[in-house]
Chains A and B, each alone.
Chain A
Amino acid sequence: GQQLNQSPQSMFIQEGEDVSMNCTSSSIFNTWLWYKQDPGEGPVLLIALYKAGELTSNGRLTAQFGITRKDSFLNISASIPSDVGIYFCAGQLRAGGTSYGKLTFGQGTILTVHP
């Protein structure tokens, strides 16, 4: 099935460092979301972006909705060991019409934080 292009695939960083990951698509989305998934668990929503150009923060996390509506990035500042996990971007079309609000996911970025 279709997936978004997410990069990097993996990152190994030291505690305290900042992290940046991004997601691109050939299609336009109305909403961009970022999820974190721990092993054996379901994805947990981190940030939702609803407008092109929107910049939203959630604690140490900051995400932006690209102005072309075809990309988004997520930054994590001052990383800590519990940031370890897999981060997924997801694009969502408007729930009206035939999209029904379903998500299209990227392949994920595996983040490892060394203490």
Chain B
Amino acid sequence: DTGVSQNPRHKITKRGQNVTFRCDPISEHNRLYWYRQTLGQGPEFLTYFQNEAQLEKSRLLSDRFSAERPKGSFSTLEIQRTEQGDSAMYLCASSPPRTGLNSPLHFGNGTRLTVT
């Protein structure tokens, strides 16, 4: 499977615990995005990496959230001191380098987080 891979698929945690999700983008895709999707809504942008550089962060990304992409390949999203409001599907997407026209984003199957 050469698509975007996310692990774990599901995570149940207790309030206050830390969680970390991993995303492996499509090979040679230098752009990587994290989105959050709550029930009944479309995905909302969280953050963007171009290679290893984190170039944009949404206001949705509170200081309890941190994302990394140390070698410009896989990325991790960590949530510290989880709250019930963090319960959502966390989606990762990647796109290839392309000048001129935009490149559509290819999404993984997400990590569903439930905070109890």
Contacts and interface: CB of A to CB of B under 8 A. Distances in A.
Given A101-B102, A104-B45, 8 more contacts: A3-B42, A31-B102, A48-B104, A94-B102, A95-B98, A101-B31, A102-B45, A103-B33
Interface residues of B, number: 32
B103 interface: yes
A43 to B, nearest CB: 5
Interface string A85-107: 00010101111001011111111
A45 interface: yes
Interface in A43-69: 43-45, 48, 50
A13 B108 CA distance: 29
Interface of A: 1, 3-4, 6, 30-31, 33, 35, 40-45, 48, 50, 88, 90, 92-95, 98, 100-108
Given A40-B109, A41-B109, A42-B91, A98 B45 contact: no
A42 B4 contact: yes
8 tightest CB-CB pairs across the interface, nearest first? A105-B42, A42-B107, A1-B44, A31-B102, A42-B109, A100-B48, A48-B104, A102-B45
Given A3-B42, A108-B41, A101 B103 contact: yes
A48 B106 CA distance: 12
Nearest to B36: A1
B4 A101 contact: no
A59 B48 CA distance: 32
A106 B40 CA distance: 11
B104 A45 contact: yes
